[in-house]
Structure 1
Amino acid sequence: MKRLPPLPALHTFLVTAQCCNFTHAAGLLHITQGAVSRQIAGLESHLGYPLFQRQARGLSLTTQGRELLPRIQQVFALIEEAVGEVGGKREALQLKAPTCIMRWLLPRLLQWQAERPDVPVELTTTVQHSVDFRSEEFDAAVIYGGQPDEQLSCHRLFDEQLTPVCAPQLLAGPQPLEAFADLERHMLLHPTRDQRDWEAWLRAAGTRVRNIGKGQHFDTLDLAMSVAVQGAGVAMGDWVLSGDDLRAGRLVAPFSLKVRTGLAYYLVYPQRREPSPQLRELIDWLLLQAAGVEGEQIA
């Protein structure tokens, strides 16, 4: 029987194959670049075939390397699962998400945790709208923007639909919000440092207001919405992300017009790695939570 290659060398191959760069792999493994190179060379010698093509601009997997990689990934996934099960303590799923989706995501994660305390989730929030699984150690992430990179396994949660929102006391105040022009009597709350969201909605409404450049500008949508709940002005919000506040009566939507921007919120994970059963269960649950929100039609 042929002697099996050493496990550390196989792990080094796995990490190197995922980034195709000796220097990057060395940083992830906390060893020197020379040590990575020697381990790969030793593994190739043991196996009797090359795993990487060395090129001026980096590495690429050979045919044998591409065939071996998914099998090695499966082996280490089984080892990780076995260690976790024997240890009796389930490691938390690591999830990254932008702050703009917190109003929708956080209540649902709290509900998930109440229903499935055996599958904990640790949430990392960020003002960034993207993720780089090559350098960020997350099991999955929610991202916002256009269609994600093809190297990501992705599920669309829902499209962005812009519509103004405000506190009910503002709507019932002495300055009504019955026509688009009435917006000129109120402070506009911008969810970004520019005014592109308000401009997009007003353009779709076929109107203009003179106070578009005034009001308050915020770094995140969540901040703008929080100020709107206090009755300080009219925020340009997202129909889905405002849903819980609208149903609870903390916010109202004075106009029926909702504008799709072409951007959306996606749940993504690395394509190179099959999700664990626990992550798959969480993904399916979140997709179920998001189901139906796209039924809202643009007025």
Structure 2
Amino acid sequence: MKRLPPLPALHTFLITAQCCNFTRAAETLHITQGAVSRQIAGLESHLGYPLFLRQARGLALTEQGRDLYPRIQQVFALIDEAVEEVGAKRKALQLKAPTCAMRWLLPRLMKWQAERPDVPVELTTTIAYGVDFRRDQFDAAIIYGTAPGGNVTAHHLFNEQLTPVCTRHYLERSAPLSTPAELEHHVLLHPARDKHDWETWLLAAGHTPGALSGGHHFDTMDLALSVAAQGAGVALGDWSLIGDDLANGNLVAPFDFKVPTGGAYFVVYPERTAPSPQLREFSDWLVAEAHSKTARA
């Protein structure tokens, strides 16, 4: 059996063939030009045929070099892929998500871990809606807003659609709530200080809002929904995020009317490196979960 060429020499050939210049290859490999020349000469001696033509204007691949180059390129690509896949199996996927998405995301993460215990996911929550992969060292993120640009791959999950929600007990003990106008006689739970969401929903429902005085204000929609689940008032909820709460009776929707805000949720990951098979599978799974949910909404 013929002895295989040394792997370092093959790697040196690959880098040199890409630039056809000993000096630039040496700079890329962080070795001397003489070391590059010696490795190429040793490889040619081992193979029994020349790989480069030494010309006055530089190097050029021989016919054998041109035939060998794409095959060696493929070999190192397979090595890179194997190392990446094995490494990915040993660590958890790092996921960042805004707190407003937790009602939808957490049950699905539990479902994912039950189905794929071999691909753990570690979640970090934030009140921020976006992600900057240049600073944030995450494999992927759930973001809220408009379709993201930049160097990210984005997959749409669902659009935001707002509708009032409260508990059944609150409805039974409070003032009547059969028309949007009657909301002004209820305790409104605002997901922000500016009351914009409630004003948007009331206008879309055909009611010009009054002063909307009183009520309570929170930093996030999730906090407002948590207070609504305690029977303390009426909050605006995103239809896609509160589906589980509506299904299990934690919350009820007094009106069959949803207002799209123009915002949406996406799962994103950086384009700087090829995603691992585990990340692609997890991302596709989240998209399928989101689309099956919105299809029933």
TM-score (norm 2): 0.73
CA–CA distance in structure 1, aligned partners of residues 242 and 127 of structure 2: 18
Which residue of 2 is the match for residue 282 of structure 1?
282
Which residue of 2 is the match for residue 124 of structure 1?
124
Deviates more, 1:252-261 or 1:287-296: 287-296
Aligned residues between the structures: 239
CA–CA distance in structure 1, aligned partners of residues 110 and 196 of structure 2: 33
Question: How far is 1:296 from its partner?
Answer: 6.3
2:27 aligned to which of 21, 42, 48: 42
CA contact (8 A) 1:165 1:234 kept: yes
Go from structure 1 to structure 2 and tell me whether the alpha carbon gap of 1:245 and 1:72 turns closer, same or farther (over 3 Å shift). farther
Q: CA RMSD in A?
A: 2.8
CA–CA distance in structure 1, aligned partners of residues 185 and 204 of structure 2: 20
CA–CA distance in structure 1, aligned partners of residues 227 and 26 of structure 2: 59
Which residue of 1 is the match for residue 205 of structure 2?
205
CA–CA distance in structure 1, aligned partners of residues 202 and 76 of structure 2: 54
Which residue of 2 is the match for residue 66 of structure 1?
none
Match of 2:173, SS?
coil
Which residue of 2 is the match for residue 82 of structure 1?
86
Question: How far is 1:112 from its partner?
Answer: 0.8
Matches within 5 A, 1:117-196: 117-196=117-196
Q: Cα deviation per residue 1:5-53 (whole Å; 9 max; x = unaligned)? A: 6xxxxxxxxxxxxxxxxxxxxxxxxxxxxxxxxx9993288799xxxxx
Which residue of 2 is the match for residue 220 of structure 1?
220
Letter in 2 for 1:210: G
Q: Cα deviation per residue 1:215-246 (whole Å; 9 max; x = unaligned)? A: 11111111000000011000011111111111
Which residue of 2 is the match for residue 34 of structure 1?
none
CA–CA distance in structure 1, aligned partners of residues 286 and 187 of structure 2: 35
Matches within 5 A, 1:50-61: none
Moved over 2 A (4+): 1-5, 39-42, 44-48, 71-85, 208-211, 292-297
Go from structure 1 to structure 2 and tell me whether the alpha carbon gap of 1:47 and 1:117 turns closer, same or farther (over 3 Å shift). farther
TM-score (norm 1): 0.72
CA contact (8 A) 1:167 1:231 kept: yes
CA–CA distance in structure 2, aligned partners of residues 165 and 76 of structure 1: 51
Letter in 1 for 2:27: G
Which residue of 1 is the match for residue 39 of structure 2?
none
Which residue of 2 is the match for residue 271 of structure 1?
271
CA–CA distance in structure 2, aligned partners of residues 165 and 74 of structure 1: 53
Go from structure 1 to structure 2 and tell me whether the alpha carbon gap of 1:296 and 1:4 turns closer, same or farther (over 3 Å shift). closer
Percent of counterpart pairs with the same letter? 55
Letter in 2 for 1:215: G
Letter in 2 for 1:241: L
Go from structure 1 to structure 2 and tell me whether the alpha carbon gap of 1:205 and 1:186 turns closer, same or farther (over 3 Å shift). same
Go from structure 1 to structure 2 and tell me whether the alpha carbon gap of 1:231 and 1:45 turns closer, same or farther (over 3 Å shift). closer
CA contact (8 A) 2:178 2:254 kept: yes
CA contact (8 A) 1:177 1:254 kept: yes
Q: Cα deviation per residue 1:244-274 (whole Å; 9 max; x = unaligned)? A: 1111111011111100111100000112322
Which residue of 1 is the match for residue 57 of structure 2?
none
Letter in 1 for 2:123: L
CA contact (8 A) 2:85 2:277 kept: no
CA–CA distance in structure 2, aligned partners of residues 261 and 222 of structure 1: 17
Letter in 2 for 1:243: G
Which residue of 1 is the match for residue 45 of structure 2?
none
CA–CA distance in structure 2, aligned partners of residues 41 and 74 of structure 1: 24
CA–CA distance in structure 1, aligned partners of residues 115 and 232 of structure 2: 37
* Runs (5+) with no aligned partner, structure 2: 13-23, 34-74
Letter in 2 for 1:82: V
* Runs (5+) with no aligned partner, structure 1: 6-38, 49-70
